[in-house]
Amino acid sequence: MAVPQRLQGRTPQLLTGALLSAVCVLANAHPPQAERRWHNCALFETRVTCVVDGDTFWFEGEKMRLLTVDTPEQDARCVKERAVASAATDLLVRLLSNGSITITRHGIDPYGRTLVTVDGSGGSIGQTLLDQGVAEHFGARPRIDWCQ
């Protein structure tokens, strides 16, 4: 291949520049949804993309809270409530992992979490949690006594 006169002698610099450009593009690319590997957040991990509980998760380093639902806490007061909390968390992991998702932000709560609604391939993830009986509407009164 003939190298134009103005580029002769600069081939190593051009190749280095092209290689650096390709590395930068790859480093800034977001992996496809299937490669994000949603999982339960570990106690001491750096939280980037993981699920805290049935209504709270981290996405690309941002802590998010589902706006429309409330699920039992992991450290609940009775065995039955802890079982529902675990089921809600596991379901949220599966729903977030099932294809592409759309996150819509709605502001920040008093704890600094971004309030969101999330839609997946099956529709509203919050509604799915409600339909499966592992969540209640956020702010509902009276609240569900999960220990009953």
Inform me whether the pLDDT recorded for 83 exceeds 50.
Answer: yes
Q: What is the pTM of this model?
A: 0.74
More confident residue, 10 or 32: 10
Instruction: Give residue-wise pLDDT tens across range 55-74.
Output: 999 999 999 999 999 999 88
Domains annotated for the chain, with CATH where assigned, are 33-137 (2.40.50.90)
The SS3 call for residue 116 is strand
Q: Is the pLDDT of residue 19 over 70?
A: no
pLDDT at 6: 55
Q: What is the mean pLDDT of the chain?
A: 83
The CA-atom distances, in angstroms, between 4 and each of 15, 18, 21, 53, 126 are 15, 17, 22, 60, 60
User: Among residues 135, 91, 98, which one has the least CA distance to residue 120?
Assistant: 98
Task: Report d(CA 45, CA 91) in Å as an integer.
Answer: 21
Q: Give residue-wise pLDDT tens across range 85-127.
A: 999 999 999 999 998 999 999 999 999 999 999 999 889 999 9
What is the structure's pLDDT at 101? 94
